[in-house]
Every structure is written in C-alpha cells, then in structure tokens.
Amino acid sequence: MQRPLILASTSRYRRELLNRLHLPFDVQPPDVDETALDGETPRELAERLALEKARAVAARFPEAVVIGSDQVADLAGEALGKPGDHARATAQLRRMRGQTLVFQTAVAVVCQATGFVQRDLAPVRVVFRELSDAAIEQYLQAEQPYDCAGSAKSEGLGIALLSAIDSDDPTALVGLPLIRTCRMLRAAGVELL
C-alpha cells in the first residue's frame, strides 16, 4: 500500500504542478517562518525552507511522504521575495531590467516513519530584457504577480519580460522542479507510473 502523499505548501502554483503527476495528494500549510537568517544566501535560504516545510508537515503526519519546496529570486546574492503589492513589484522589476537572476528553487521529500530525507536544488538562470517603465506597468496591470518571487510569471505574460531562461528542470521556475521531485518520490517508494 502506498503511503499518503502531502504537499507542504499554500502555493496554488505548486499544487497545479503536482497535479500533473496524476497522484492523489493532500495539501497542508507548513506554518514555517520564512525569514532569512543573518548571512544566509538565497540558495541556503531556499534549501533550508524547503526542508523545514517538509519536516514541519511530516511531524504532524509521520506516515506520509511530504514534499516541501521554496523559491528565492537571487539578484547578485540578494534575496528578492514575493512583492505582495503593486509598488514593490514595480520596484523589483525596475531593479531586474537588463539583469540576470538565479531563481533558487529547492525541493525536499521527507517521510518521518521511514527516516527518508532528501533535498535538491534546481537553480534557474533568467535574463530579463531592458524594460521600460510603461512595459512594467502594463505587465503588472495585466497579470498582478504579487504572490510570485521576482514579480514575474514565466508561465503567463511574464515570458515577454525575459530574453533567456536556462534550466535543466523546466517546471522549476514555476515553483516545483518536477524532474527532481519525481526522482525523490521514487526513492521514497512512491510509484509514479
């Protein structure tokens, strides 16, 4: 019998991605403080939070296989979070125009009952075009990506803001690297096909 599968996330984007695997799963909020630690790099922050989210939910559901994920937009070593509102999104996109960012997307799979713990990182290099203030405003009015790290949705109109995406796990930029997730789920004993 397959163990229950839980996504430790409140992200609708991660839920939509995990649905692609055609597996039954539950969603539970991880209730983890996402504040960066002093001196923590964006990569370290994403990796720590993915694991903390998975462990927090696994502690409540020890028999389940739990997936945790986190993404941090990395602009030259500075973590850019979710903007939350129009003014912050405008400021983020102005800073990012013409810049290369790395979206540090981490995933962790934990099963407390079996002691299974794996974590991986799927960095995505993204080059933003030189964007006019008018283009930024038009984009934000159309898509309102205030709940996305880096203020842009590549799966929507945000693709028009970019000149290049470099990744070996195509869903990582949306928030859950499914290639890595599938590998870890198989290692945890979850049958995918």
> Identity (one letter) of the amino acid at 138?
Q
- HEC readout, the chain: CCCCEEEECCCHHHHHHHHCCCCCCEEECCCCCCCCCCCCCHHHHHHHHHHHHHHHHHHHCCCCEEEEEEEEEEECCEEECCCCCHHHHHHHHHHHCCCEEEEEEEEEEEECCCCEEEEEEEEEEEEECCCCHHHHHHHHHHHCCCCCCCCCCCCCHHHHHEEEEECCCCCHHHCCCHHHHHHHHHHCCCCCC
Query: Is the confidence at residue 122, as pLDDT, over 80?
Result: yes
Closest listed residue to residue 172, CA positions, set 65, 81, 71: 71
Rounded to an integer, the average pLDDT of 86-103 is 96
- CA angle 166-160-75, nearest 5°? 50
pTM attached to this predicted model: 0.93
* pLDDT tens readout for residues 35-75: 999 999 999 999 999 999 999 999 999 999 999 999 999 99
**pLDDT beyond 80 at 156:** yes
Give the pLDDT band of residue 193 (cuts 50, 70, 90): confident
Provide mean pLDDT across the span 68-91. Answer: 94
Task: Give pLDDT, residue 149.
Answer: 86
Q: Which active-site residues does the annotation give? A: 70
Sign of CA dihedral 41, 161, 10, 89: positive
Question: What domains sit in the chain, N to C, each tagged with a CATH number?
Answer: 5-187 (3.90.950.10)
- CA 79/CA 73 separation, integer angstroms: 6
